[in-house]
Structure 1
Amino acid sequence: MDILFDSFEHLLDPDWIMQNGGLYLVLLILFIETGVFFGFFLPGDPLLFVSGMLIASVDEAYPFSLEILNLPYWLLLFMGSTIVGNFFGYWFGHKFTHFVNRKEDTWFLKQKHVQAANEFYDKRGGFAVAIARFLPIVRTFAPIVAGTVKMDFKNFTFYNVLGAVLWVGSITTLGYVLGETPWVLRNLEYIILGIILIVTLPVVLKLTLKKRIKAFPKR
């Protein structure tokens, strides 16, 4: 657990990011979290916010000397990374359906995570692929589940792109706009914690209420 917490701390440290691959490292992390089944623990939401701050605050050309060009450049790359990640997840679910739906847990694939994504997909349909971007864990497994149920590929592509635009565009731009605000810089840890709580609270509440309902069955 200590290693995991240390990893989170590094991934959300702007200085560490810039010293270890910069925002190109973020591209890899986003790809893994949005479609590779073992990437569910990665902190995509606060990472996008921190990336927005970096885009606004890096002094040297990164990569353009005109600062106004840097934000759309990275937005497109981040969106592309998450879109490709979802395509990989869809392909994996389509190709390895029996592996995904197996009853036994493994250290890297928990059936409770797959089941949560399944229930979310059943309730929301294709739109689940888009809005799942805002839900930790679910955003990793939603494209995999879409692949296992053989969701129409054209519909999947539409919602995949829509989700990438909404998720990356909103959180990264928010970080970019607020990134150079002194109060934000002084309270970055609390802001990141707040983002994590906001995006995870709906999932936690749903799981808690579900357990209580099961504990008190109807008579």
Structure 2
Amino acid sequence: MGHVVSKLCLALCVFGASAQAGGVGKDGFYLGAILGVNSPTVQSTVTDTGGLDTFSTDINKAGLMFGLHGGWRMHVEGGFHGVEASYKDSTAKGTYNMGSLGGGFKTNASFDLSYKGGYAIAPETYVTGRLGYGWLRASHQVFGSSFVDNGSFNHTLGYVLAGLGVEHYLSKSLSLSGEYLYRHATEDAKKRHMYTNNSGDYTDIKGEYSDHSFVVAINYFF
């Protein structure tokens, strides 16, 4: 019995040592690549002074998200703290129609800076959370109308960013992560389109943007 207990204690000691060593990871700078799915929601509101009804519609169409990020990380007992800068792009877009008036919304490149922290839940494995701020380039288009100026415009929207995920170290210098991200624009995309008959009437279009993303990333630590 004592022999069995001794072996069990030895095994627990070895496991504890490996967990402590494996959970530390590598401090310093890293680079990574991102790939995932992005699902935006655009609450588009059209207000018209020339006879068209005011209406609102949601635009939803998932797309591919991809990008690069880089950051710096410092491990502490039981976890890590770090900052991360990220560049992302997305193919997500959507359209709406009201009679002869139509429109579209497309997300383009974005850049954000965030705090990312992790808590060790197993050897080399962390549950992670992030909070940050960024800027999104979006394009909004009006088409199919003979009485309102057609065309597109670009707008840079600031947004807040929050995320929750899991990260696992494959080696001291390589990790793989999966993460849910939520972004919400702190301002609306707005554009006034004047009537082509020079009546002074116009159509105001406003887009309120938010999105949900599920991404995976591979990270290399220098």
Larger Rg: 2
Q: TM-score, normalised by structure 1?
A: 0.21
Name whichever structure is richer in helix by fraction: 1
Q: TM-score, normalised by structure 2?
A: 0.21
**Higher relative contact order, structure no. (Cα contacts within 8 Å, ≥ 6 residues apart):** 1
